[in-house]
Amino acid sequence: MIIEETHLKGCYILSPKVFEDERGYFFETFNENVFKSQTGLSVKFVQDNQSKSSMGVLRGLHFQKSNHSQAKLVRVIKGKVLDVCVDLRKNSDTFGEHFSIILDDKQHKQFYVPRGFAHGFLVLEDDTIFSYKCDNFYNKESESGILYNDDTLNIDWNFPEEKLIISEKDLALPSLKTLLNEI
């Protein structure tokens, strides 16, 4: 497995070694020893989640606050997404910056998003199955987020806005500026 850090400290792209033959393929999705040796991070995942979505569904940008924050290891089992994270660590040199990556069922790349980041994804193919491991349990009272089209983030979702499918809850998320004033 090849693990590369992005320009956002602590965010990693994991590219597995895929073994293919006439029967299909096999690859290791996570190895704690390899991850720790290449990143220096010791992560214990305690919850796995999975969603299925249609093309144009945008989920995010979500995060859990304070003691309930979560690191996530995300991947696509079937289909394709544009995966995005935003650095919300106030003392970080990259605070307010974002990173995006295409995750699909062809390359099998995964993306590690550490605690202190908002996360979201845009589904680019129908019937996409998205999976993520979390290092902390979900807590409804601690959920929060940032509006997907926040002007200060300037995220290019590279998708026609009129074709986006976004929940009412996600459309009501605050801007980064409003969120910072609330904290």
Burial 14-35 (b: 16+ CB within 10 A, else e): bebeeeeeeeeeeeeebeeeeb
Place of tokens 């998708």: 159
Q: Distances in Å between the alpha carbon of 53 and those of 74, 104, 126?
A: 15, 14, 7
Q: Evaluate the omega torsion of the peptide bond into residue 179 and state whether it is cis, within 30 degrees of 0.
A: no
Number of alpha helices (DSSP H) and beta strands (DSSP E) in the chain = 3, 13
Asked about 132 being catalytic, the answer comes back as yes
Distance of alpha carbon 91 from alpha carbon 36, whole angstroms: 24
CB 57 within 8 A of CB 129: no
Asked about 25 being catalytic, the answer comes back as no
- What is the CB neighbour count within 10 angstroms for residue 108? 18
Residue type, 158: N
Query: pTM of the prediction?
Result: 0.94
Distance of alpha carbon 56 from alpha carbon 59, whole angstroms: 10
Name the catalytic one among 12, 112, 132, 148.
132
CB 154 within 8 A of CB 100: no
Superfamily of domain 44-182: Jelly Rolls (2.60.120.10)
What integer pLDDT is reported at residue 19 of this predicted model?
95
What integer pLDDT is reported at residue 182 of this predicted model?
66
Name the catalytic one among 62, 98, 108, 119.
62
Q: pLDDT tens digits, the chain, 183 residues: what are they? A: 999 999 999 999 999 999 999 999 999 999 999 999 999 999 999 999 999 999 999 999 999 998 999 999 999 999 999 999 999 999 999 999 999 999 999 999 999 999 999 999 999 999 999 999 999 999 999 999 999 999 999 999 999 999 999 999 999 999 999 988 765
What integer pLDDT is reported at residue 183 of this predicted model?
58
What integer pLDDT is reported at residue 179 of this predicted model?
86
Distance of alpha carbon 115 from alpha carbon 136, whole angstroms: 10
What integer pLDDT is reported at residue 31 of this predicted model?
94
